[in-house]
Structure 1
Amino acid sequence: MKLPASNAAVCAAALLPVASATIYYAGVAQSGGEFGVWSATSTKGTGLPGRFGVDYQFISTAGVDTMTDQNKVNLHRVAFLLERMCPPSYGLGAKFNETHFDYYKQAINYITKTKGAYAILDPHNYMRYNDPSSQPMSGSVIGNSSDPTAATTAQFGEFWGELARRFADNEKVIFGLMNEPHDMPSALLVANLQAAIDGIRKAGAKNLIIAPGNSWTGGHSWTQGGAEASSNWLQKLVDPAGNLAIDIHEYLDVDFSGSHAACQQDPATNLANVTAWLREHKLKAFITEFGGSNTTSCTTMLNGILDYMAQNDEYIGWTAWAAGPFWGSNSPCCTDSKQWGSLEPGSKAADGGPSLYDTVWLPVIQKKVPAKLQWRGMASVKGGRLEEKPQKH
């Protein structure tokens, strides 16, 4: 479940469509690698390191097969926890739990090398580290010098440098620097992100990087917050390789949380300001989280956000929230806590009925997956050659 980025809607008019717009990457977020640590009593250390395949799992290969081969998507965003990759006993940095890393690498290689799709690496940590027991609020903000338990900005850069070194030879890997930073100074956010970019490039990796904003990286709130607004800061990032895009999330319910079944927020209106900002600074973006229920209003607005991205060339990719092997009948978003299943192929609602894969993905989102996407070459802000999914890779 996602938390509100803001309770205020952006009241700007939608931008006019751009005829040359192209979506190069389209797919689904794979949620499950961050599971197994929640504590009702906020007990630090709960579920760590956890049992792979029991408490958490990155992907279902069968689900990835269906999404890639039948649904013809070319992008999967795969969540993991920093505290499993870099156990608190080690501290955040370049020393990894190698067993855990190997499980993650197997998932990424399956997506990219076996299936020929692209994968976004997603540290699902809200720019916090050392206590995921009550995410998204628990843990120390990375780089907070007033918190003696916090990992440093330099350690965050070291972590990304090491992770990038290990995937630098895989051109289909995209580095998503952090999931939904929030409630922190934007200057610190940018310092952390720049340290990660510098670490990645120093490691020799030329892969596409996507960087989030503050305030849960909400597109609707991008220009809100006065001096702390993401629109005042994210353009300051410098990538010597020139392969940096912006990572945006946008839900359609009343408080932008992705927790309610009713869709009430018009995406074209709410994305207008961030799109204008992207255009002003000549930046590209992915919307790596969005979603809706199977209601009539959500069908309309899901079509709206997918059409909006297809019509504005600032947007080059998207992943819907969410599939994953461990959701069962639970829903990742947009159901008022009702158990309507997830976007995982083959999942079912609690009553045995159709899941959101059946009622939202297939009849709505699937129709907006472009027939031609990029299937070969390095992921890039410039995109690549478009083609229908090759039969073999």
Structure 2
Amino acid sequence: MRFAAISSAVCVGLLPGASATIYYAGVAQSSGEFGAWSPTQTRGTGLPGRFGVDYSFISTSGVDIMTDQNKVNLHRVAFLLERMCPLEYGLGAKFNETHFDYFKQAVDYITKTKGAYAILDPHNYMRYNDPSSQPFSGSVIGNTSDSTAATTAQFGAFWGELAKRFADNGKVMFGLMNEPHDMPSSLLVSNLQAAIDAIRASGATNLIIAPGNAWTGGHYWTKGGSEANSNWIHKLTDPAGNLAIDIHEYLDQDFSGGHTECTQDPATNLAGVTAWLREHKLKAFITEFGGSNTTACTTMLNGILDYMAANDEYIGWTAWAAGPFWGTNSPCCTDQRQLGSLEPGSKAAGGGPSLYDTVWLPVLQKKVPELLQWEGPASVNGGELRTKP
């Protein structure tokens, strides 16, 4: 995520011929990217950071509640490229093995201990070498005019190595990058294709989730002239045929998730990208969306969830955000008020109910499908639906 009058009802909008199924539903686990922010934009801040002190990946108790009680089957797990591939190594196939082991423990807990699915989320905005002031700091990967930038080939090498390490776990999905922005769409496609090629060359057949440019916003997918995602992202090719599109869609005035008021009708704003998905016979996840605890946000959160459930282009979603290190802070949608997060057990700054209590339980929880995929590898075509075992 990036830091008026409201309709009384949200139109769901089922496209002709659609027969929709959500196979994967859950929450983004955000905390693995924490600890690097610097208000003075000091390069190298928080790197490598102290695991369990400056950042962490999941709370096992939070994952337990979400999976066992709330019956979600999907967790999106964020991490920083600069911790997985320290600056002294550079981006590529050489990892900090201690850091990777912490990450793998989190992913294995979700997928092997709890039997759910996990999306790997390099939370880097298609940038590498300086996460101090994300989402804008760091060099754009593949920018040949920047001598400090990691190359497209290095990005491919990174994904080839990461994929090889999870190739035997079909419950792991590869989210190629969080929210690329402010770069040529042709370069984005080159980077993404390099990653796809390296993943398949590693022998991994796991589901890949590819983002668009412009923060991968669904509302902007067909906008931006020649740079529009709708002109580029369908050019990606996957020899395994197991590729989905990654979309983010917030409901506030500027689609950033930074404001309390929900004013953007999701059915209207997603119409263009949904038609594009249908035209190119593609499927999608909305891996970030959210809203505050207002009445208007309740209406629009129901609207976006109903929209996905009604249109077969959408096969999964993760709400933003849970994670063990939010504390009383809110991940989105509160104008920086400290109302807690979607993490079970979190509290607002005053000790009152958190967004888990006021948004997840009364709104999002009711939209988690009773039948989801719990067995077999993740697939763009979905799998057998069943209640949680």
TM-score bracket for the superposition, by shorter chain length: over 0.9
Supply the distance in 2 between the matched residues of 1:146 and 1:373 (Cα, whole angstroms): 46
Superposed displacement of residue 16, structure 1: 3.2
Supply the distance in 1 between the matched residues of 2:229 and 2:17 (Cα, whole angstroms): 24
Matches within 5 A, 1:54-65: 54-65=53-64
Contact 2:13 2:310 in 1 (8 A): no
What are the superposed Cα offsets for residues 28-79 of structure 1, whole Å, 9 maximum, x if unpaired? Answer: 0000000000001101000000000000000000000000000000000000
Contact 1:284 1:315 in 2 (8 A): yes
Q: Do structure 1's residue 342 and structure 2's residue 375 form an aligned pair?
A: no
Contact 1:27 1:73 in 2 (8 A): yes
Equivalent residue, structure 2, for 1:374:
373
Supply the distance in 2 between the matched residues of 1:217 and 1:172 (Cα, whole angstroms): 24
Equivalent residue, structure 2, for 1:6:
none
Superposed displacement of residue 231, structure 1: 0.4
Equivalent residue, structure 2, for 1:150:
149
Contact 1:17 1:312 in 2 (8 A): no
Equivalent residue, structure 1, for 2:8:
none
Supply the distance in 1 between the matched residues of 2:18 and 2:43 (Cα, whole angstroms): 51
Contact 1:15 1:272 in 2 (8 A): no
Supply the distance in 2 between the matched residues of 1:2 and 1:322 (Cα, whole angstroms): 13
Contact 1:76 1:319 in 2 (8 A): yes
Choose 14-23 or 147-156, whichever is displaced more: 14-23
Supply the distance in 2 between the matched residues of 1:131 and 1:270 (Cα, whole angstroms): 33
Equivalent residue, structure 2, for 1:7:
none
Equivalent residue, structure 1, for 2:227:
228
Equivalent residue, structure 2, for 1:2:
2
Superposed displacement of residue 2, structure 1: 1.8
Q: Do structure 1's residue 178 and structure 2's residue 171 form an aligned pair?
A: no
**1:188 is paired with a residue of what secondary structure?**
helix
**1:220 is paired with a residue of what secondary structure?**
helix
Superposed displacement of residue 252, structure 1: 0.1
Equivalent residue, structure 2, for 1:76:
75
Supply the distance in 1 between the matched residues of 2:29 and 2:125 (Cα, whole angstroms): 17
Instruction: Normalising by structure 2, report the TM-score.
Output: 0.97
Supply the distance in 2 between the matched residues of 1:334 and 1:14 (Cα, whole angstroms): 25
Contact 1:18 1:311 in 2 (8 A): no
Equivalent residue, structure 2, for 1:257:
256
Equivalent residue, structure 1, for 2:7:
none
Supply the distance in 1 between the matched residues of 2:69 and 2:107 (Cα, whole angstroms): 19
Equivalent residue, structure 2, for 1:267:
266
Contact 2:128 2:140 in 1 (8 A): yes
RMSD: 1.1
Q: What code does the residue aligned with 1:375 have?
A: W
Q: What code does the residue aligned with 2:345 have?
A: G
**2:220 is paired with a residue of what secondary structure?**
coil
Equivalent residue, structure 1, for 2:357:
358
What are the superposed Cα offsets for residues 341-388 of structure 1, whole Å, 9 maximum, x if unpaired? Answer: 000000000000000000000000000000010000010010000000
Equivalent residue, structure 2, for 1:328:
327
Stretches of 4+ aligned residues off by more than 2 angstroms = 12-19
**2:285 is paired with a residue of what secondary structure?**
strand
**2:308 is paired with a residue of what secondary structure?**
helix
Supply the distance in 1 between the matched residues of 2:14 and 2:195 (Cα, whole angstroms): 32
Supply the distance in 2 between the matched residues of 1:363 and 1:149 (Cα, whole angstroms): 47
Supply the distance in 1 between the matched residues of 2:17 and 2:355 (Cα, whole angstroms): 31
Superposed displacement of residue 20, structure 1: 1.6
Supply the distance in 2 between the matched residues of 1:340 and 1:32 (Cα, whole angstroms): 17
Contact 1:24 1:384 in 2 (8 A): yes
**1:379 is paired with a residue of what secondary structure?**
coil
Contact 1:329 1:349 in 2 (8 A): yes
Matches within 5 A, 1:75-94: 75-94=74-93
What are the superposed Cα offsets for residues 249-300 of structure 1, whole Å, 9 maximum, x if unpaired? Answer: 0000000000101000000000000000000000000000000000000000
Equivalent residue, structure 2, for 1:314:
313
Supply the distance in 2 between the matched residues of 1:80 and 1:115 (Cα, whole angstroms): 20
Contact 2:322 2:341 in 1 (8 A): yes
What are the superposed Cα offsets for residues 171-220 of structure 1, whole Å, 9 maximum, x if unpaired? Answer: 10000000000000000000000000000000000000000000000000
Instruction: Normalising by structure 1, report the TM-score.
Output: 0.96
Contact 2:12 2:303 in 1 (8 A): no
Percent of pairs identical after alignment? 84
Superposed displacement of residue 19, structure 1: 5.0
Equivalent residue, structure 1, for 2:161:
162
Structure 2's unaligned 5+ residue stretches are 4-10
Superposed displacement of residue 322, structure 1: 0.1
**2:330 is paired with a residue of what secondary structure?**
coil
